[in-house]
């Protein structure tokens, strides 16, 4: 789960990391003149959406006086940036930055370890810079049982050339970030930039991603920081699927794809692509899906106006094909919308399944190629 910048900053602040003075606004009413006065102009207004590259997309603007501030905020609130509607902005003091560092903790899938990343080249172009000059990135793998060692952070501080009087503060900030990473089961804790000012080091931007699998033990702690109403980059359809326990991702095409198991569903999307058609979604009903679950999955795609036809690929192991067939029939009979549906179904009790489906006029195949050809002829006609 992606945590928005202002939420992430509140977490960092609670761990003692210096962040700029600021407040959030969901409407112009949230802008209180006394608070603005206390912080002082110029101010930076930043849209709170869960994507990177907000600055380049026009989501971060400066305001030099109250008139500009009201203008900028009303312009940004409600606007659409990279397909996401802006519901909230963060208004912060503008700091005089002498240098920007990059500091992050994440999980390196190749090393199978958490890593501490740091670079002198902080800022919005960090990715391009590191691509060209990989030696400017310091990467420290972390032992899962010992954690981050003090000397490792100290050595990185020297390598980055952190001013002598700020080395202690740097170590302190990095260790606090690691504590956040550890305490919150994070996949990412990133401060970019960590800004050097005349007044020490400051976390000017922050990004935190929490591992969804850890929410069972993080939910209570997170409730203090997370506002539910804020959009987190998933579509309404994806939200509905999540509630049903289905794995669902929307794509650009017009063929709704349902499979059992992530690998088989992905392979089915690839086959549809190879046959010159475009998948509209990835919908994995998982292992051992019940009739009710299948019905919900099919109904969801029937109700999605982007989808012109549904293609199902089921290889029943734990999943019983006859259960799947009954779920499909129930969905088709109870939903008022009609759409062509082609199903390739094989495995446990597949003969029964195809019989049931054919009795109800559903095109059911054992062979995947035949099923794909049928789908193509439907879409062409």
Q: Which residues are catalytic?
A: 102, 190
Rank residues 75 and 376 by Cβ distance to another protein and give the closer one. Answer: 376
Q: How far is the CB of 303 from another protein (least distance, A)?
A: 21
- Provide the 8-state DSSP code for 214: G
Q: Note the residues at the interface with another protein (CB under 8 A).
A: 2, 51-52, 102, 104-110, 112-115, 117, 126-127, 130-131, 134, 137, 139, 143-145, 182, 185, 187-188, 190, 192, 207, 209, 211, 213-214, 216-217, 249, 251, 259-264, 266-267, 269-274, 279, 282, 287, 315-318, 346-348, 368-369
User: In 206-341, where does DSSP find H-type helix?
Assistant: 215-223, 236-244, 262-274, 291-302, 321-334
Rank residues 262 and 337 by Cβ distance to another protein and give the closer one. Answer: 262
**Coil, strand, or helix at residue 38?**
helix
Report phi then psi at 217, rounded to 5: -110, -5
Q: How far is the CB of 158 from another protein (least distance, A)?
A: 21
Report phi then psi at 103, rounded to 5: -140, 130
Contact 4, 230 (CB under 8 A): yes
Q: Which helix (H) or strand (E) holds 168?
A: helix 167-183
Burial class, 174, CB count within 10 angstroms (exposed 0-12 / middle 13-18 / buried 19+): buried
Give the Cα separation of 273 and 266 in Å (integer): 11
| Partners of 297 in the β-ladder | none
Please report the sign of the dihedral spanned by the C-alpha atoms of residue 306, residue 310, residue 315, residue 317.
positive
- Provide the 8-state DSSP code for 275: T
Q: How far is the CB of 369 from another protein (least distance, A)?
A: 7
Rank residues 16 and 273 by Cβ distance to another protein and give the closer one. Answer: 273
Can you give the length of the chain in residues? 381
Q: How far is the CB of 155 from another protein (least distance, A)?
A: 20
Rank residues 130 and 226 by Cβ distance to another protein and give the closer one. Answer: 130
Rank residues 263 and 361 by Cβ distance to another protein and give the closer one. Answer: 263
């Amino acid at each position: 789960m992606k945590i928005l910048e202002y939420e992430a900053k509140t977490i960092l602040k609670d761990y003692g990391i210096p962040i700029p003075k600021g407040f959030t606004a969901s409407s112009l009413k949230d802008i209180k003149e006394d608070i603005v006065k206390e912080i002082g102009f110029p101010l930076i207004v930043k849209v709170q959406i869960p994507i990177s590259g907000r600055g380049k997309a026009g989501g971060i603007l400066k305001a030099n006086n109250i008139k500009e501030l009201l203008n900028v905020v009303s312009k940004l609130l409600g606007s659409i940036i990279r397909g996401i509607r802006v519901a909230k902005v963060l208004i912060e003091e503008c700091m005089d930055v002498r240098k920007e560092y990059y500091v992050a903790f994440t999980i390196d899938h190749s090393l199978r370890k958490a890593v501490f990343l740091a670079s002198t080249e902080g800022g919005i172009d960090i990715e391009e810079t590191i691509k060209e000059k990989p030696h400017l990135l310091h990467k420290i793998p972390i032992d899962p049982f010992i954690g981050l060692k003090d000397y490792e952070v100290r050595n990185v501080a020297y390598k980055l050339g952190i001013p002598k009087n700020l080395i202690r503060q740097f170590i302190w900030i990095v260790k606090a970030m690691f504590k956040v990473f550890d305490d919150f089961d994070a996949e990412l804790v990133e401060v970019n930039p960590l800004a050097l000012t005349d007044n020490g080091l400051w976390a000017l931007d922050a990004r935190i991603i929490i591992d969804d699998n850890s929410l069972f033990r993080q939910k209570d702690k997170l409730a203090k920081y997370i506002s539910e109403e804020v959009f987190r980059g998933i579509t309404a359809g994806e939200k509905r699927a999540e509630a049903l326990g289905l794995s669902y991702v929307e794509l650009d095409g017009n063929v709704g794809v349902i499979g059992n198991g992530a690998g088989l569903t992905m392979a089915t999307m690839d086959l549809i692509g190879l046959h010159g058609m475009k998948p509209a979604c990835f919908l994995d009903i998982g292992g051992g899906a019940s009739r009710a679950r299948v019905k919900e999955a099919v109904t969801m795609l029937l109700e999605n106006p982007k989808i012109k036809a549904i293609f199902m690929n089921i290889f029943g192991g734990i999943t019983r094909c006859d259960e799947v067939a009954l779920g499909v029939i129930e969905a088709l009979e109870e939903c008022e919308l009609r759409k062509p549906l082609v199903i390739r179904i094989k495995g446990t009790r597949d003969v029964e399944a195809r019989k049931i489906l054919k009795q109800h006029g559903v095109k059911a195949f054992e062979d995947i190629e035949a099923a794909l050809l049928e789908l193509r002829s439907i879409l062409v006609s």
